[in-house]
Structure 1
């Protein structure tokens, strides 16, 4: 197994981080955007770190959206969530 694959496997086997920890990983611009979307029922699922900065993944029922580090909201991101069951 390569080092990168091993590290990914290690991370997936760790306990899931709590909502507050994800919130702390967001930028101020992401927090403002999420505050605006919260009134429409969106909630923070998790934050992923990319070379371009953190991406907050949010959902509202079955709709998935992304908020980029600069606060830009993508209501139709090209992402697929894996089944956690």
Structure 2
């Protein structure tokens, strides 16, 4: 890995948000939906702010899903995640 790549990784590490902070960014409807999905093994990965409100990205093993601000669950969202090392 080059020095530039190290600098980028260092910057990303500083921008990492703790899980509780992501949880606090979700709406009440998203929390209810995640409670329901938690029994199937889904867990919250992160929350992204979009024009229509926050989108909670969740996973169960290798399956990715999204919960929109109104609590609607999309089990097949068009989301591509970066690989973490």
- TM-score between both structures, scaled by the size of structure 1: 0.83
Any gaps of 5 or more consecutive residues in structure 2?
1-10
Larger C-alpha radius of gyration, 1 or 2? 2
Q: Deviations over 1:25-60 (max 9, x none)?
A: 000000000000000000000000001100000000
State yes or no: 1:76 paired with 2:59: no
Number of equivalenced pairs: 75
Q: Where do residues 1-80 of structure 1 align in structure 2 (5 Å cutoff)?
A: 12=12, 14-80=14-80
| Structure 1 moving runs of 4+ over 4 Å | none
CA–CA distance in structure 1, aligned partners of residues 63 and 13 of structure 2: 27
Superposition deviation, residue 84 in structure 1: 2.0
Superposition deviation, residue 12 in structure 1: 3.8
Any gaps of 5 or more consecutive residues in structure 1?
1-10
- TM-score between both structures, scaled by the size of structure 2: 0.83
